[in-house]
Amino acid sequence: MMIKNKFNKEWRLIKSRHFDFFIRPTDRKIKMATLNKAERHYVKMNKLWGVSNRKKITYYLLADREEMIEVLGKNTSGFAKLDDCAVYSLYPFHPHEITHLVTNGGIKRRPVLALSEGVAVFYGWKNGWDGKSIEKWQNLFKRQNKIIRLKILLDKNSFKNNSEPVFYPQYAAFVKFFIKKFGLAKFKALHKVSLSTDSFNQTAEKIEKITGIKLSEIEQKYRQYWRIAN
């Protein structure tokens, strides 16, 4: 099916149970296996998060970053728009962005960056971040002396445009630690009350209230979990 949408571009529409995939007419066909992977990930995350999103996801497969900038105004490989329940991506299967829609879609907003991106990295690509597992990233950062203290990691103002390669894997490392030590239910409770605008002190207060532990003690547990020298 050929269709024109609000971007005034011609797209080919491919439907699955939970997705409407828009691809350019010149693109090769999306393989059924790719559609199935997107469906499986979506269903898995809905079940894990305990949500039921009845609205279909609109998924735009864009050609390159230039088209991403033209269409969305962002120089990125992928982006999830919560209000539109839409994914814009350079990849036919982008679990990181699908995870954003499921985990953030239920609360209709994004939590503080460390939690929002941490959960998307942790539950996103099976091979971790940029082809390496979170464990491998943590070992690399330990060797390079680049482990970030929680008072910096959890502060939204610490993140800069070029910080992604160091911060994103460590966001996921914190999320993995938190879930392993305190359980998914408490992480979901923290995720639910967190705001993207929260200061570090506000984030710390919410973590301490949910866990019943001071952040300084959590920092020690975090470093013990990842075997980081003090």
Cα 178 to Cα 213: distance, rounded to the nearest angstrom: 12
- Answer for the pair 21, 59: CB distance below 8 angstroms, yes or no: yes
Q: How confident is the model at residue 28 (pLDDT cuts 50, 70, 90)?
A: low
Lowest mean pLDDT among 5-19, 76-90, 195-209: 5-19
pLDDT at 50 over 80: yes
What does the H/E/C string look like for the chain? CEEECCCCCEEEEEECCCEEEEECCCCCCCCHHHHHHHHHHHHHHHHHHCCCCCCCEEEEECCCHHHHHHHHCCCCCEEEECCCCEEEECCCCCHHHHHHHHHHHCCCCCCCHHHHHHHHHHCCCCCCECCECHHHHHHHHHHCCCCCCHHHHCCHHHCCCCCHHHHHHHHHHHHHHHHHHHCHHHHHHHHHHCCCCCCHHHHHHHHHHHHCCCHHHHHHHHHHHCCCCC
- Residue 224 or 128, more confident: 224
pLDDT value of residue 134: 96
Distance CA 106, CA 82 (A): 9
Q: Look at residue 66 and tell me whether its pLDDT is greater than 70.
A: yes
In the chain, the domains with their CATH numbers are 2-105 (3.30.2010), 113-225 (no CATH)
pLDDT for 7 equals 65
Residue 3 clears pLDDT 60, i.e. is over it: no
pLDDT digits (tens, 9 = 90+) for 150-199: 999 999 999 987 789 999 999 999 999 999 999 999 999 999 999 999 99
Query: How large a percentage of the chain has pLDDT more than 70?
Result: 93
